[in-house]
Structure 1
């Protein structure tokens, strides 16, 4: 099952945190990023996808080192739609932040400095998507597990999930 299918499952499952309001907040944030940068929504979705891949690598590393519980705690602590520099710092060293910004700039044409300034908003949005699968009863998170599952075909992409959520919500 793909990431977006997991997110939709979380939205329709009352035991999981996902909701249409949460998806709407994420889509609104993507639109605000688009307005703020002057880039179209598809470019911002690409930015989120590229940053999402770096987030996945960082979370996989943390999971291997500290366990699944710490990764879920980090997601719960920093997920949102408001800027949070601590979210970025918890996942990336300063050098890695620069590397992420440069990689995004090369692939999207946006300014690396602008991307670095936007990371405190982009990272919490990615984590917000991942938080949607948290199940209060079991403590598991189907969305996060799908996102981190390196044994699958690698076809897990935040940009695709945002694009599908936008279409699903008719925005």
Structure 2
């Protein structure tokens, strides 16, 4: 089951935190960020995909070193739709932030300074998307499991899932 399917499952499952308002808030935040930066839809999708991939790597490393509860706690603490520099600092060292910025700038053509300014908003949005799968009863998050892609086939992409959610909600 793909990441978007997991998100839809979380939205309809009363035992998971996901809901349509949460998805709508994420989609609105992405559109606002796109408008604020002047990025076109394709470039914005690329930024979300690149940052999402780096978030996945950071969360996989955190899970390997500290366990799944530490990953879920980080997501719970920093998930949101507004700028939060602490979310970025919790996942990426300054050197890694620079690397993410450079990769995204090279692949999208968006100025590295703008990408750097986007990170404190994009990272919490990615975490917010992942928080949808958190179980209201306390254990497990199938959305997070799908995102971390335990089988390693690399077929999860946060930007694609957000794009599908936008189409699903007619936005």
Please indicate the TM-score interval, normalised by the length of the shorter structure: over 0.9
Counterpart CA distance in 2 for 1:138 and 1:120 is 27
Counterpart CA distance in 1 for 2:99 and 2:152 is 26
State whether residues 16 and 135 of structure 2, in contact with CA within 8 Å, keep that contact through their aligned partners in structure 1: yes
State the 4+ residue runs in structure 1 displaced beyond 2 angstroms: none
Counterpart CA distance in 1 for 2:97 and 2:154 is 23
Counterpart CA distance in 2 for 1:25 and 1:125 is 9
Note if 1:131 corresponds to 2:131. Answer: yes
Q: What's the CA shift string for 1:76-107, capped at 9, x where partnerless?
A: 00000010000000000011101000000011
What residue number does 1:153 align with? Answer: 153
Counterpart CA distance in 2 for 1:19 and 1:31 is 19
Counterpart CA distance in 1 for 2:37 and 2:105 is 13
TM-score of the aligned structures, taking structure 1 as reference length: 0.97
TM-score of the aligned structures, taking structure 2 as reference length: 0.97
What residue number does 1:166 align with? Answer: 166
The two structures, once aligned, show a CA RMSD in angstroms of 0.9
Q: CA deviation at 1:5?
A: 0.2
Counterpart CA distance in 1 for 2:157 and 2:31 is 19
What residue number does 1:17 align with? Answer: 17
Q: How many residues align?
A: 171
What residue number does 1:72 align with? Answer: 72
What stretches of structure 2 of length at least 5 have no aligned partner?
none
What stretches of structure 1 of length at least 5 have no aligned partner?
none
Q: CA deviation at 1:16?
A: 0.4
